[in-house]
Amino acid sequence: MAPGEPNRKVAGSTGPRPGVLRRVLYRLAASNDDLVDDELRQESVDAGASTIATAQMRTRVHIQGRIEVLTLNPTGTNRWLEAELNDGTGSVHLIWMGRRRIPGLRAGRRLAVDGLIAANDGQRIMYNPRYQLLSD
Amino acid sequence: MNITQGLKRLLIGRKLESSKLGETLLPKRIALPVFASDALSSVAYAPDEILITLSLAGAAGYAFSWKIGIAVACVMLVVVMSYRQTVHAYPSGGGDYEVATANLGPDAGLVVASALLVDYLLTVAVSVSSGVQNAEAMIPAIHGHEGLAAAGVIVVLTGLNLRGTRESGTFFAVPVYAFMMSVAAMVIWGLVRVFVLGDPLRAATAGLRVEGEPKYSSLVGLAMVALLARTFSSGCAALTGVEAISNGVPSFREPKSRNAAATLALLGGIAVSMLMGIIVLSRVIGVQMFDETGGGSRILDASGRPLASQTTVVGQLARAVFFDTFRPGFYIMIICTMVILFLAANTAFNGFPVLGSILAKDGFLPRQLHTRGDRLAYSNGIITLAVGAAVLVLVFNASVTALIQLYVVGVFISFTVSQTGMLRHWTRLLRSDLRAPKEQRRVWMRSRLINGVGLVMTGIVLIIILISKFTRGAYLALLAMVGLFALMKSIHRHYDKVHDELELSDSSDRALPSRVHAVVMVADLNKPTMRALQFAKATVPTFLEAVTVDVDPDATEKVLSAWQKEDVDVPLKVIASPYREITNPFIEHIRRIRSENPRDMVEVFIPEYVVGHWWERLLHNQTGVMIRARLHFMPGVLISTVPYQLSSSRYAERRWRREEPRSWREAGRPVGRSRD
């Protein structure tokens, strides 16, 4: 089961909010990962960003989430900085061409980005997004 | 070499190469004492048990002793004849187990195997206990500590057997032959003195008043039949050990079957004459025994008080025959008896591990029992037997009269089942090969007849034993056998299940992974990590990445800048770890690679520090160990440990080179694969 799935069903942004009892039961039964995803998703919804899972391909979107994996590429090959952003509903690969490091950008950092989201080889990808480092 | 290793070298000896296996084969003159000491030694306690049981009927009961002796001897001869057929037909050492499995199916084989395993255990327990009782006559200090003394003897025997068959064989030959000769000398000299020289020889207990149980003293009716049946059952202890030869055929020199059959015949003849000789002589000079374990009989001495303890039959005979004319003979007789009883236990030490190893080979026992140790003996089987027997003697405090009630049942179960199997074997041969030459068919017919007689005989004896002994302890042995049977069945079922699970079936089992993701675990950029990176690169994977988990931002920053400064040409992925743990985010990362590309192979390189001392191991590699253990449960993941030898590791290497500790326990495989 993909980590994003159950919370969309229970506390998704579409449809009415489920009852208190169901929410309590869900919080007790859900795994820690699901709860973390929930929080991430809720934060980005609160900030008015779109969620990655529902984002339309080839459109400009504003999303917010946390860096799960940050890749430092060697100098020889692709000269870009790569990061994987997760907002609790899914993840998107961010690529900054021509850069090796961005100061302050590290794994676990929360980040808001604007850019064109596209699909590439089954993955969502966003080239050279505008970014804003959020406080932890 | 440290102290433990030195001690082991002293007690067990040097490792033997696999090619030395042939040298542990036994010539007939050595095989006889090794395999026959069990059957021969029982003449040291079978007459005792016969007389003790008969004493319940009072002094008149002893009159039956020689008739019981003849009955036991008849059974013995028939069984020996039957087994001569078996060693010819099945020379591979499976003995009764193989016969039953081949002719009656694996369940019958297991019945035999569990019966024999239990009886081997009891052979050790009974023989050692009886030996300790004999020793007590010379060393009274043992009295009250029989259980411990017997356990000590078992430990010594275990050590001897871990050294290997051949040496123990030569070592055991002398006392066994000495025992045979001294019994012969004692019986002949005793009879000569009585009947030729006319000496009025009397045993110490002769003429004393014996009080039996009233219900047996009438010597008539059902009670008497029951008593005789019990006596006969106890006397049948003399038959145990006959099957040891059929299990030990591979230990004989070529031609194995012929030599084994000849040894069997020899054994039968010697055992029967010794048994009859002792019984007749004890009758002639009036030896009397009573039930020491609080049974119904007692012997009153001249002043009318009951005797508290008694000497064994052999002890009484030796005293009467030798003590006045040739005193050293008395001591030789007692010492030989004692020693041969310990050696009888040795027969089981030869038979049990071989049977265990065959069972292990067939998947009924853990595979470790199949392998040979440093000294080419089945070390694991020997140790199992020793532990089991030691527990028995400690629980029963080495009381022969108590232990003998459990004994013999197993042997007769296996006799009966294997005779049935042999009957089938010959019948099948006669039916299937109709065009065999006439002489050949006649031999088969004769063999079938012998085994048929054997079956009837052993079957009847088994029924007698079961009826007369069941409530007296045989049920314990039967319970143990049922338990063993169930255990071996379930072990077999497990091995079968695993085998089925592992069998190649559809094409996905043969699929070649399409691509290789190599992942190098990085904690720090140092020599071990660099070695792991270079090794990973050398395997030319489709994708190669280094992964570090961001537990501590400062440390991660250091790794990143070192990575940049070193200009490593491998992408380094930093994984967020919101809960400051390494294992889970790393495993999660691998799992994601797996689920995105299910047909790819993921190879994880884990640098590991190789250290020299156990305490260093506590300080290093803990994360790696944890991650490795978790990754083992993920299909499609290959874990490569890249060892980096710290300078302290040379101590460990030296230690291992001297002695690989597991080679002794795990046996077999490391033999001959020397590490230096």
ipTM computed for the complex: 0.81
Nearest CA in chain A to B557: A106
Does residue A8 have a pLDDT over 70? no
Query: If pLDDT is split at 50, 70 and 90, which confidence band does B530 have?
Result: very high
The answer to whether the Cβ–Cβ distance between B553 and A106 falls below 8 Å is yes
Shortest CA gap A95–chain B (Å): 14
Query: If pLDDT is split at 50, 70 and 90, which confidence band does B16 have?
Result: low
Query: If pLDDT is split at 50, 70 and 90, which confidence band does B396 have?
Result: confident
Shortest CA gap A15–chain B (Å): 31
The percent helix, strand, coil of chain B (3-state, each to 5) is: 70, 5, 25
Domain of A42 in residue numbering reads as 5-46
Identify the structural domains of chain B with CATH numbers, from first to last. 3-493 (1.20.1740.10), 516-645 (3.40.50)
Structure tokens given for B200: 């009025």
Residue B193: how many other CB atoms lie within 10 Å: 18
Assigned domain for A95 exists: yes
Assigned domain for A51 exists: no
Residues A39 and A66 in one domain: no
Contacts of B210 (CB under 8 A, 6+ apart): B55, B58, B59, B288, B290, B297, B298, B299, B300
Amino acid letter, B377: A
- Pairing mode, if any, of strands A123-127 and A80-86? unpaired
How many beta-carbon contacts under 8 Å exist across A and B? 57
What pLDDT, on a 0 to 100 scale, did the predictor assign at position A61?
Answer: 93
Give the residues across from A96 on adjacent strands. A81
Query: A82 by DSSP, 3-state: which?
Result: strand
Assigned domain for A88 exists: yes
Based on the number of CB atoms within 10 Å of its own CB, is B618 exposed (0-12), middle (13-18) or buried (19 or more)? exposed
Q: What is the mean pLDDT of residues B360-384?
A: 74
Spatial distance between the Cα atoms of A13 and A51, rounded to a whole number of angstroms: 10
What pLDDT, on a 0 to 100 scale, did the predictor assign at position B616?
Answer: 80
- Pairing mode, if any, of strands A130-133 and A110-120? antiparallel
Does residue A5 have a pLDDT over 50? no
Kindly report the CA angle at B579 between B576 and B580, in degrees rounded to 5? Answer: 75
Q: Which of B349, B379, B377 is nearest to B128 (CA)?
A: B349
Residues in B closer than 8 angstroms to A82, CB to CB, are: 571
Q: What is the mean pLDDT of residues B385-394?
A: 88
What pLDDT, on a 0 to 100 scale, did the predictor assign at position B659?
Answer: 57
Spatial distance between the Cα atoms of B256 and B89, rounded to a whole number of angstroms: 12
Q: What's the Cα-to-Cα distance from A83 to each of A57, A64, A119, A126, rounded to whole Å?
A: 19, 13, 16, 10
Question: Which DSSP string do the residues of B92-131 spell out, in sequence order?
Answer: TS-HHHHHHHHHH-HHHHHHHHHHHHHHHHHHHHHHHHHH
What pLDDT, on a 0 to 100 scale, did the predictor assign at position B194?
Answer: 85
Q: What is the mean pLDDT of chain B?
A: 81
Check if A72 contacts B (Cβ < 8 Å): yes
The answer to whether the Cβ–Cβ distance between B553 and A67 falls below 8 Å is no
Based on the number of CB atoms within 10 Å of its own CB, is B22 exposed (0-12), middle (13-18) or buried (19 or more)? exposed
pLDDT, tens digit, for every residue of B216-237? 666 667 778 888 888 888 888 8
Check if A71 contacts B (Cβ < 8 Å): yes
Assigned domain for A11 exists: yes
Assigned domain for A53 exists: no
Residues A40 and A64 in one domain: no
Counting residues of chain B whose pLDDT is more than 90, the rounded percentage is 15
The answer to whether the Cβ–Cβ distance between B574 and A106 falls below 8 Å is yes
Residue A128 contacts residue A134 (beta carbons within 8 Å): no
Name the DSSP letter for residue B19: G
Residues A83 and A119 in one domain: yes
Residue B341 contacts residue B179 (beta carbons within 8 Å): no
Q: Which of A95, A107, A98, A100 is nearest to A131 (CA)?
A: A95
Query: If pLDDT is split at 50, 70 and 90, which confidence band does A7 have?
Result: very low
Residues A25 and A69 in one domain: no
- Pairing mode, if any, of strands B572-576 and A59-72? antiparallel
Query: A66 by DSSP, 3-state: which?
Result: strand
Candidates B574, B582, B600: best to mutate against A (most CBs of A within 10 A) is: B574
Spatial distance between the Cα atoms of B63 and B439, rounded to a whole number of angstroms: 47
Q: Which of A66, A68, A72 sits opposite B563 (nearest CB)?
A: A72
Candidates B552, B573, B597: best to mutate against A (most CBs of A within 10 A) is: B573
Q: Which of A66, A67, A73 sits opposite B571 (nearest CB)?
A: A73
Residues in A closer than 8 angstroms to B565, CB to CB, are: none
Does residue B313 have a pLDDT over 80? yes
Does residue A4 have a pLDDT over 80? no
Question: For every residue of B410-445, which 3-state class applies, written as one string?
Answer: HHHHHHHHHHHHHHHHHHHHHHHCCCCCHHHHHHHH
- Pairing mode, if any, of strands B516-521 and B543-550? parallel
What pLDDT, on a 0 to 100 scale, did the predictor assign at position B215?
Answer: 66
The answer to whether the Cβ–Cβ distance between B574 and A72 falls below 8 Å is yes
The alpha-helical segments, DSSP class H, found in B503-608 are 527-538, 553-566, 583-596
Does residue B319 have a pLDDT over 90? no
Residue B216: how many other CB atoms lie within 10 Å: 24
Spatial distance between the Cα atoms of A62 and A117, rounded to a whole number of angstroms: 10
What pLDDT, on a 0 to 100 scale, did the predictor assign at position B235?
Answer: 85
pLDDT, tens digit, for every residue of B142-176? 777 778 888 888 888 888 777 765 555 666 688 88
Shortest CA gap B378–chain A (Å): 52
Residues A31 and A73 in one domain: no
Structure tokens given for B362: 């067939």
Question: For every residue of B458-519, which 3-state class applies, written as one string?
Answer: HHHHHHHHHHHHHHHCHHHHHHHHHHHHHHHHHHHHHHHHHHHHHCCCCHHHHCCCCCEEEE
The DSSP H or E segment spanning B174 is helix B165-191
Check if A13 contacts B (Cβ < 8 Å): no
Residue A128 contacts residue A97 (beta carbons within 8 Å): yes
Count of structural domains within chain A: 2
Assigned domain for A74 exists: yes
Residues A70 and A117 in one domain: yes
Shortest CA gap B594–chain A (Å): 14
Kindly report the CA angle at B410 between B409 and B415, in degrees rounded to 5? Answer: 100
pLDDT, tens digit, for every residue of B575-591? 998 888 889 999 999 99
Query: If pLDDT is split at 50, 70 and 90, which confidence band does B433 have?
Result: confident
Residues of B with CB under 8 A from a CB of A: 545, 550, 553, 556-557, 560, 563-564, 567-578, 589, 596
Check if A106 contacts B (Cβ < 8 Å): yes
Name the DSSP letter for residue A120: E
Structure tokens given for B608: 């590991």
pTM score = 0.73
Residue B487: how many other CB atoms lie within 10 Å: 14
Does residue B489 have a pLDDT over 90? yes
Residues A85 and A124 in one domain: yes
Residue B345: how many other CB atoms lie within 10 Å: 30
Residue B188 contacts residue B401 (beta carbons within 8 Å): no
Does residue B676 have a pLDDT over 60? no
Q: B353-377 as b/e, with b when 16 or more CB fall inside 10 Å?
A: bbbbbbbbebbbbeebbbbbbbbbb
Residues A104 and A72 in one domain: yes
Q: What is the mean pLDDT of residues B255-282?
A: 87
Does residue A131 have a pLDDT over 90? yes
Residues A122 and A85 in one domain: yes
B53-57, B291-295, B568-572: lowest mean pLDDT where? B291-295
Does residue B380 have a pLDDT over 60? yes
Shortest CA gap B525–chain A (Å): 14
Does residue A128 have a pLDDT over 90? yes
Based on the number of CB atoms within 10 Å of its own CB, is B640 exposed (0-12), middle (13-18) or buried (19 or more)? middle
- Pairing mode, if any, of strands A91-97 and A80-86? antiparallel
What pLDDT, on a 0 to 100 scale, did the predictor assign at position B11?
Answer: 60
Assigned domain for A124 exists: yes
- Name which residue leads in pLDDT, B301 or B342: B342
Residues A40 and A79 in one domain: no
Residue B6: how many other CB atoms lie within 10 Å: 10
Contacts of B357 (CB under 8 A, 6+ apart): B369, B370, B371, B378, B381
Q: CATH number of the domain that A101 lies in? A: 2.40.50.140
The answer to whether the Cβ–Cβ distance between A74 and B571 falls below 8 Å is yes
Residues A120 and A81 in one domain: yes
B141-150, B493-502, B560-569, B666-675: lowest mean pLDDT where? B666-675
Query: If pLDDT is split at 50, 70 and 90, which confidence band does B2 have?
Result: low
Residues A72 and A15 in one domain: no
pLDDT, tens digit, for every residue of B78-112? 988 888 888 888 887 667 888 888 888 888 889 98
Q: Which of A68, A100, A106 sits opposite B556 (nearest CB)?
A: A106
What pLDDT, on a 0 to 100 scale, did the predictor assign at position A41?
Answer: 87
